[in-house]
Amino acid sequence: MIAITGATGFLGRHLVEKLRNKNIKCLVRKEDHGFKNVKTIKGDINDKKSLDNFTKGAEIIIHLAAVIDHKDKEEYKKVNTEGTKNLIKACKKNKVKRIIFVSSMASTKTHLDDYGKSKSEAEKLLLNSGLDVTILRPSFIYGKDSNSMKKLLEFLHKFKVIPIVGDGEYKFRPVHVDDVVNSIVLCINNKNSIGKIYNILGKTELTFNEFIDMVCKKYNIKKRKVHIPISICLPISSIGSMITKNFPLKKTFVLSIKSGTTGSIDLAERDLKYKPMSFSEGLKK
């Protein structure tokens, strides 16, 4: 049986659709999860009892549950790092050896933001756990019902111009949700993927400026980009965070953005036969 955490999220719902005809069970927090004909276990990644129930009888865990955007930075640690620790303990107790963890390229940056740090720490816990671990590191995931894309579009509509931190020339490779789902499926029966870490990126490497231009073109947004130098963003974020804990422009974010989220997919192509689509193909889906 395949047991999935984070099944109710954006990526999780796409994965459940793909694995619908397999023997799966999903950890869900709320009663109104909307799944039909899918086995669910009510629980929380921080509730050890429900994790015991969830891992019992599972042959493989696909761990997607995470907090990716939260005002309270303690939540990243609590859910992403401590939650993963709880899951490892439950796996050991119930003799579940195999786990596929969806981490993030955010865990690879030189300056880690709170989210990236929590994912990086979860990776370390898993790699040292003695379990048969595969780690997948997607970049920005887009596609139907993507929260990240929804938030980006809200942001693009919010101001008269499009404010961009720094020169926007940092590179990244957005990945379509179907490609991330495929990468997970490709790992399930692939023993060669055990102990490996794969970057799961789209086919196209873009600068952030190019990415914004393509999104604006697709959604017919006609606005000018305004680049705000990092040297200005940094003091704004420092002063803002002194005034309010929830100031949206975080210093760690400003520092981390410069490192971009690009990388090589050679290993995934070789081991998994992973073949992602281009960004223009993905935007049409």
From 1, 38, 68, 249, residue interacting with ligand NAP (rule: CB under 6 A): 68
Residue number with CB closer to ligand NAP (238 or 262): 262
Q: What distance separates the 2 farthest-apart alpha carbons in the chain?
A: 56
Binding of residue 11 to ligand NAP (CB under 6 A): yes
Binding of residue 116 to ligand NAP (CB under 6 A): no
CB of 162 to ligand NAP, least distance (A): 19
Number of residues that bind ligand NAP (CB under 6 A): 28
Binding of residue 201 to ligand NAP (CB under 6 A): no
| Secondary structure element (H or E) that encloses residue 24, with its range | strand 24-28
CB of 239 to ligand NAP, least distance (A): 29
Q: Which of residues 12-41 bind ligand NAP (CB under 6 A)?
A: 12, 27, 29-30
The single-letter code of the amino acid at 230 is I
Residue 7: partners with Cβ closer than 8 Å, 6 or more residues away: 13, 15, 16, 26, 27, 28, 33, 35, 38, 40, 64
Q: Which of residues 38-67 bind ligand NAP (CB under 6 A)?
A: 44-46, 64-67
Which among 6-14, 183-191, 228-236, 243-251 is the span making contact with ligand NAP, rule CB under 6 A? Answer: 6-14
Binding of residue 84 to ligand NAP (CB under 6 A): no
Binding of residue 196 to ligand NAP (CB under 6 A): no
Closest residue to ligand NAP in the complex (CB): 9
Residue 64: partners with Cβ closer than 8 Å, 6 or more residues away: 4, 5, 6, 7, 9, 11, 12, 15, 102
From 2, 3, 4, 6, residue interacting with ligand NAP (rule: CB under 6 A): 6
Dist CA 184 CA 136 (whole Å): 8
CB of 238 to ligand NAP, least distance (A): 27
Residue 156: partners with Cβ closer than 8 Å, 6 or more residues away: 162, 212, 215, 216, 219, 221, 223
Residue with tokens 């929380």: 44
Dist CA 22 CA 199 (whole Å): 26
- What is the pattern of x (binds ligand NAP, CB under 6 A) and - over residues 137-156? -x-xx-----xx--------
Write the CA distances from 100 to 3, 85, 131, 160, 234, integer angstroms: 10, 14, 10, 43, 36
Dist CA 139 CA 142 (whole Å): 9
CB of 235 to ligand NAP, least distance (A): 28
CB of 40 to ligand NAP, least distance (A): 11
From 9, 163, 166, 240, residue interacting with ligand NAP (rule: CB under 6 A): 9
Query: Counting beta carbons within 10 angstroms of the beta carbon of residue 158, is it exposed (0 to 12), middle (13 to 18) or buried (19 or more)?
Result: exposed
Residue number with CB closer to ligand NAP (5 or 182): 5
Rounded (5°) CA angle 256-262-263: 125
Helix, strand or coil, per DSSP, at residue 5: strand
CB of 191 to ligand NAP, least distance (A): 23
The site for ligand NAP (CB under 6 A) is made up of 5-12, 27, 29-30, 44-46, 64-68, 79, 83, 102, 104, 138, 140-141, 147-148
